[in-house]
Amino acid sequence: MAFWDYANPTRFLRLVQVVLPWLIGFCVLAFAAGLYMAFFTAPEDYQQGNTVRIMYIHVPAAWLCMMCYTVMSISSIGTLVWKHPLADVSAKSAAPIGAAFTFMALVTGSLWGKPMWGTYWVWDARLTSVLVLLIMYLGLMTLWRTMDDPIKAGKSAAILTLVGALNLPIIKFSVDWWNTLHQPASVVRMDGPTIHADILWPLLIMAVAFTLLFFVLHLMAMRNEILRRRVRALRMRAASVSRPGTAAATAQPAE
């Protein structure tokens, strides 16, 4: 039952107030450690040289754009099955953050690719899938924006999110298939066959840092969304002329 208690918006806001400073602290620490290791302790790749350092932001960003979609999918189930308003708030505020991380993954991927492939963009299976994911994020955000009623918009977006979640593996599979058909053999794969511990540790710490960053931003965005809905409800109350009715049935038997 504890979960449901925190799912109450007011209590949730209080919880955010308590948790947020800690999260921010850990996040900063993780970034400090991760960045230090990424630049000073991690070795150069024998093949890619220093460009391998882009991996320490590219891979966590790519991991987060998947995790963010997972969070949105779970929230969407919450919206549709339990009809809880906080689930909807969570899904809505995760979308822009997810889009931003997806954008990061794409940009770093293409900046990493330029020295490797000699071009900023290749229609590599993974980059292509991430691009499709970005379009889906942006589409979802647009859907939310175009509907005035947040409850209705939330339900529509939840359905689309879940259809997208079903479709993402299919898209990934098709893009992989398509890629093997058309792929030139010379493309350098981004991940080496085995990852050395000196590379793995900074990567893991950066992944943790990014994950913490996501939760910090997500909680803050959720808080904003709750406030926004309060403002909306209060404005509506300010504008409403008619008050909600409590109806009394007065039966007047005719005949």
Q: Smallest distance, Å, CB 15 to other proteins? A: 16
- Does position 188 interact with other proteins (CB under 8 A)? The reply is no
Nearer to other proteins (CB atom), residue 20 or residue 204: 20
- Does position 142 interact with other proteins (CB under 8 A)? The reply is yes
DSSP 45: B
Q: Smallest distance, Å, CB 61 to other proteins? A: 7
Among 119, 186, 194, 240, binds other proteins (CB under 8 A): 240
Q: Please work out the total of residues on this chain that contact other proteins, with binding judged by CB under 8 A.
A: 92
From the list 15-23, 62-70, 97-105, 186-194, the region that binds other proteins by CB under 8 A is: 97-105
Tokens at residue 69, please? 């979609």
Nearer to other proteins (CB atom), residue 196 or residue 230: 230
User: What letters, b where the CB count within 10 A reaches 16 and e where it falls short, cover 113-152?
Assistant: beebbeeeebebbbbbbbbbbbebbeebbebbeeeeebee
Residues 55 and 190: beta-carbon distance below 8 Å: yes
From the list 15-23, 64-72, 98-106, 191-199, the region that binds other proteins by CB under 8 A is: 98-106
From the list 64-72, 183-191, 194-202, 242-250, the region that binds other proteins by CB under 8 A is: 242-250
Distance CA 164, CA 205 (A): 30
Give the relative orientation of helices 197-239 and 55-77 as an angle to the nearest 10 degrees.
40
Q: From the CB of residue 35, how many other CB atoms can be counted at a distance below 10 Å?
A: 17
Q: Smallest distance, Å, CB 254 to other proteins? A: 5
- Judged by CB under 8 A, the chain residues 194 through 213 that form the site for other proteins are 213
- Does position 233 interact with other proteins (CB under 8 A)? The reply is yes
Residues 37 and 186: beta-carbon distance below 8 Å: no
* Residue 49: strand pairing partners: 45
Q: Smallest distance, Å, CB 200 to other proteins? A: 19
Distance CA 50, CA 198 (A): 14
Tokens at residue 158, please? 């939840």
Cα within 13 Å of Cα(240), Cβ side: 10
Nearer to other proteins (CB atom), residue 74 or residue 80: 80
Residues 127 and 59: beta-carbon distance below 8 Å: no
- Judged by CB under 8 A, the chain residues 26 through 65 that form the site for other proteins are 39-40, 44, 49-51, 53-54, 57-58, 61
Nearer to other proteins (CB atom), residue 70 or residue 142: 142
- Judged by CB under 8 A, the chain residues 149 through 178 that form the site for other proteins are 149-152, 155-156, 159-160, 162-164, 166-167, 170-171, 173-175, 177-178
